[in-house]
Structure formats: C-alpha cells, structure tokens
Structure 1
Amino acid sequence: MKTTQELIDLITLRKLEENLFEGESSFMGSPNVFGGQVVSQALHAAYQTVPTDRFCHSLHSYFILPGDLEQPILYDVANLRDGGSFSTRVVTAKQNNVPIFVMAASFQLKQEGYEHQEKMPIVTPPEELMSWNDVAEQFGSVLPKSIMRFVLAERPLDFKPVEFVNPFEKKDYENFSNVWLTFNDVPDNLPLPIIQQLIAYSSDYNLLSTAIKPHASKAHFGNTQMASLDHSIWFHRTPNLHDWILVNVESPSANDTRGFTRGNLFNRCGEMICSVAQEGLIRPIVK
C-alpha cells in the first residue's frame, strides 16, 4: 500500500447489514493490526450511520486485544442518540466474535461560534529535513533490524522528524517530538468524512515513540514492548492533505509501564487541525 487511494480503499468497509460492516487489514511493519487502521475504519463505520449534514468533532477509543492481520474485522455500530445538534455512536470491532476495540464518537451540525487556537511551534521546514526513507538509505546498514522493518514497510505516508534520535548515542532526550507528515498521491476534492478518516489513520504514528524518548539511553524498539491502550482525537479544522502537516507531541508522564502522550496537528500555514491523546504500554522486555 503506497498511495492515499489505496489507503482509502482499505478504510472503506463492506456493509453486511444495518449497522454492521466488515474490513480487511494491511501490514504496516508490526505483526499485529496497526491501531490507526482500526480507528479510521471504526470512524468510517460510524459515519455510515449518521445524517450527512453532521461531522465528527471527537472520538475516544480503547484497544482491547491485538488484531490478527489475517482475519477480517467486523464493526458493529450502536446508535446512542440523534439530538438537535449532536449524534453519538459507539463502534465495537470484533474478530472471531471477540471484541478487540471499542470507540465512542460524537458528530455535530456545522455551526458558527467563537474561535481561538494555540500557535504552531517554530520548527525546521520539511524541505530541510530527512525522511524516514532517507534515514534508512543512509544508516540502514547499522540500524537495528526491528527499526528497519518498521521504517521500510510500505505505507501511504511519508515522515520527516524535526529532532533526530540517534539510537547509538545511548542518551535520554527531552519529552517532546515534532514530525512532519504528508500523504502520497492525494486525490482531489475529498469529502470531509474521508479527510478525517485519513487523519485518524495517521494519528497513531509518533505518539508512543515520544513517550520513550526520556528513557532512550536504555529503552528502544528492540527491548521495549509497545502497544496503544487508548486513543482520542478532537477535530478542529479541515486540513489540506496536499501539503505537509506538523505533528507536535509531548509526553507529560510515564509510570506503571504506561506512557501518556498528547499533541496537536497543524497545517503548514499554522492552523490547528486536530488534537490527539494516547496512553500506551511501554514495558521493558525481560530476557
């Protein structure tokens, strides 16, 4: 999967019956289903059941079990409420009739109101940075296999980290990260639901990796079990997917083998398009 259209095809589910949908999975460098895929597919399922004049403003989800890449995923949507301005849905994802993920999402009518936002941080522009593929080409012969397997997996996104973490320096870093992301070969005139589903897919990247930066002198992908536990998104503004998007993340806390992260996504022009929060497992692997 290399293009945005291929990603849209993956997110788009088959309708089996009223409020029940089925999706497939794609390998993204991990032996389990990528969390962003499940979030985006669940959002797609919920969108199929709400009035067309309502858009998602927030979602909150829990990852219950790892997903099997070889098994289809069923998405069962429960209609909790359709009010005058807001609609609420709960989506349960299952494999072999066992829940692996649950999400609550809220949708609202477009309405005018007050507006403000936090300023985008001043960082190096993407044109001056190396992408994940550039890093793999330059340092691939010395990087750990676990990192190379993840970096070289085919994906419809490209990433350019602002702060480069050298896995061989064995030092701790500050508890934040900035990464530019862009989608490959984006079709024109995408509707808002699809744009939000694409953003939901991308939002599961670069979060837990920020939570281990303060412990990078001893923690890395090869010796740390990492898995998303919960995931929330608040959609603020419609992004331009034809340009780079800045993902600004911080990790305020880690304890009891869990790392907490939160962040904002900005268009290049400085508009805050969404906010994210996630807690995930960062458990040292004892050999």
Structure 2
Amino acid sequence: MSQALQDLLDLLDLERIEEDIFRGRSRSAVVPRVFGGQVAAQALVAAGRTVPADRPVHSLHAYFLRPGDPGAPIVYTVDRIRDGRSFTTRRVVAVQHGKPVFHLSASFQTYEDGLEHQAPMPAAPDPATLPTSPERLGGYGHLAPEVVERFLKAREAVDLRYVDEPPYGRYGEPREPHSQVWFRVNGKLDGDDPSRHAVLAAYVSDMTLLDPVLLAHGRGGWAVGDVVGASLDHAMWFHRPFRVDEWLLYDQESPSASGGRGLGQARIYTQDGRLAITVIQEGVVRVPRQL
C-alpha cells in the first residue's frame, strides 16, 4: 500500500467521541476548502459504524450545505432512523463551527437474491494504455505550476486516467458532454470489507463528475479560471460488489445545465463489465462576471 493511500485511509477514519457522534480531521483540497468527496466518505463511515457488518450500503443521498473549513475538525452526528428486517436507514449531519455543512441519508441492506439485468458497459480503451495523471498534467504548459502541484497532491492516493483530454487540458470549443475515466486506489487493500470499498468509491466519485458540464461549453474549469463551482448534492446507488483497488470505469455525461447549475450522471463499471454503481450530482457552475 502506498503512503498516500494509507494517509487517505487515516483521514477517512473517525474518532468516536460519544454514542453515534464522531469526529473527523480535515485537509485542503484542489480548491481552498474541504473536498466534498472527503465529507461524503467520512459521513458514510459514521453511518456505517452504527450498522451491522452484514448490511452493506446500497444507496446514499447527500446535500453540500456550506464550504468546509480545512483547518477545523468536522463532527458527524448519526440518527438511527430505521432498523428493519432487511433494511437499515441512517441520517448523518456534519457540523463545523456550530453550523451544518453536509447532510447525508444512507440505506443499508442484507444480501438478497432477485431479478438481474444491467445496462451494458460502453467501449473504453485498456487503462494500461492511458497516461497517468503526472504524465498528462506534465504536458500542460498552460497550467500554472502551483495548479498542477495541487492537482497531483489532491489525487496522489488515486490512479486516475482520462480516456480523452480533461476539460482543463483542451478548452475553448464545446465538446460532447461525455467523459470517461478509469480509476483505482494506489495500493492493494487488505480484506474484502465492502464498506471500505464503498467509502473510497464515494470519495473518488466527487472528483470528475461535473467535467461533462464543462466539456459541453468548452470551459476549462477552476484550473484556468473560466468558471467557478461547487457540488450541491450527490447520490449513489451501489448495485454489485466491486473492489476499488481494481480498475473501475467511470462513464460520465451531462444531460442538462441551466440556472447556474449543471447536472452530471454516471455509471461505474468493473473491468470485466459489471455495473457496480450509479452516480448523479448537481453542482453550481457559474461564469465569472468579467467573462
């Protein structure tokens, strides 16, 4: 396991400070606030700590309420909404400086057999043929060195490989609002605990989901300063078992942008073609007035 991955696992671990109350550390992200994927992942950890181990998460729905302060801890309070025979429901509120910054509802289910079908996996090149983040970012002379450094630092625990040029790599002309990214964590995880893989998938899922919104309008994003934005809400449905230390294809698209908001939706597939997760997110995407 890489040191970066161990540091990420340590970051996502929580301190229990009271019954159903947990505290997590923070750190700065690519932008000078707490990365939304970190808060979502920590909230899912808090919820999972109150659920039997044989009930993995099958869905989560969350709202980002305020920017997180990377210099302060986050306190997570869990409400035990329901404990049924098959399903368990938890609500989590994340608080900083006395105010809620994030709200999550998550549902957990015991394993059941049932009907099976899925959308087929789209075509995508082998991830081994694609440039790594350091290789790709190293070729962008138009990005400020500090921007490249912050990107690489924020994503050093994840091997993330774009199939095509990311928004900040080629911008100025609209492209199809569709993006594919292969990802896996940088290191092998011990054991088969599905909750750990779900938590790390939640963390990564917030990294690139609004890229198709930028592509549709030829925008490069915050990295080049032609838009400002933030996640508003986030939803995930976990369909089938997966490992986040093995390659996963994140197939993303944007069906709409309006009212200063953009919508991203995606499917995450295992390398052998199983649909593992569906993700939907809406975010603020605003063009600065001076543009």
Q: TM-score, normalised by structure 1?
A: 0.94
How far off its partner does 1:187 sit? 2.2
Contact kept, 8 Å, 1:133 with 1:151, in 2: the verdict is: no
Distance 1:168 1:85, change over 3 A: closer
Match of 2:216 in 1: 214
Q: Which of 192, 195, 203 is residue 197 of structure 2 equivalent to?
A: 195
Instruction: Specify the code of the residue in structure 2 equivalent to 1:182.
Output: R
Match of 1:119 in 2: 120
1:152 partner SS? helix
Q: Which of 268, 278, 286 is residue 281 of structure 2 equivalent to?
A: 278
Instruction: Specify the code of the residue in structure 2 equivalent to 1:43.
Output: L
Rounded Cα–Cα distance in structure 1 between residues aligned with 2:220 and 2:205: 23
Match of 2:157 in 1: 156
Rounded Cα–Cα distance in structure 1 between residues aligned with 2:123 and 2:47: 36
Rounded Cα–Cα distance in structure 2 between residues aligned with 1:169 and 1:223: 10
Match of 2:42 in 1: 41
Show the 5 A alignment for 1:1-80: 2-80=3-81
How far off its partner does 1:200 sit? 0.8
The Cα offsets for residues 103-138 of structure 1, whole Å up to 9 and x where unpaired, read as 000111111111111111111111111122101222
Distance 1:40 1:151, change over 3 A: same
**Deviating more after overlay: 23-32 vs 146-155:** 146-155
Contact kept, 8 Å, 1:74 with 1:95, in 2: the verdict is: yes
Are positions 1:231 and 2:237 aligned together? no
Instruction: Specify the code of the residue in structure 2 equivalent to 1:98.
Output: K
Q: Percent identity?
A: 38
Rounded Cα–Cα distance in structure 2 between residues aligned with 1:151 and 1:197: 21
The Cα offsets for residues 160-199 of structure 1, whole Å up to 9 and x where unpaired, read as 1111147455211101100111111122214111111111
RMSD (CA atoms): 1.7
Q: Which of 246, 249, 252 is residue 252 of structure 2 equivalent to?
A: 249
Rounded Cα–Cα distance in structure 1 between residues aligned with 2:43 and 2:101: 12
1:212 partner SS? helix
Contact kept, 8 Å, 2:26 with 2:70, in 1: the verdict is: yes
Contact kept, 8 Å, 1:72 with 1:95, in 2: the verdict is: yes
How far off its partner does 1:242 sit? 3.1
Contact kept, 8 Å, 2:249 with 2:268, in 1: the verdict is: yes
**Deviating more after overlay: 106-115 vs 184-193:** 184-193
The Cα offsets for residues 1-33 of structure 1, whole Å up to 9 and x where unpaired, read as 953222221111000000100000123322000
Rounded Cα–Cα distance in structure 2 between residues aligned with 1:246 and 1:266: 5
Distance 1:5 1:152, change over 3 A: closer
Distance 1:223 1:264, change over 3 A: same
Contact kept, 8 Å, 2:256 with 2:262, in 1: the verdict is: yes
1:99 partner SS? strand
Rounded Cα–Cα distance in structure 2 between residues aligned with 1:109 and 1:159: 31
Rounded Cα–Cα distance in structure 2 between residues aligned with 1:146 and 1:252: 33
Gaps spanning 5+ residues in structure 1: where?
A: none
2:115 partner SS? coil
1:8 partner SS? helix
Distance 1:90 1:68, change over 3 A: same
Q: TM-score, normalised by structure 2?
A: 0.93
Are positions 1:264 and 2:267 aligned together? yes
- Count residues with an aligned counterpart: 285
1:54 partner SS? coil
Instruction: Specify the code of the residue in structure 1 equivalent to 2:280.
Output: A
Contact kept, 8 Å, 2:12 with 2:41, in 1: the verdict is: yes
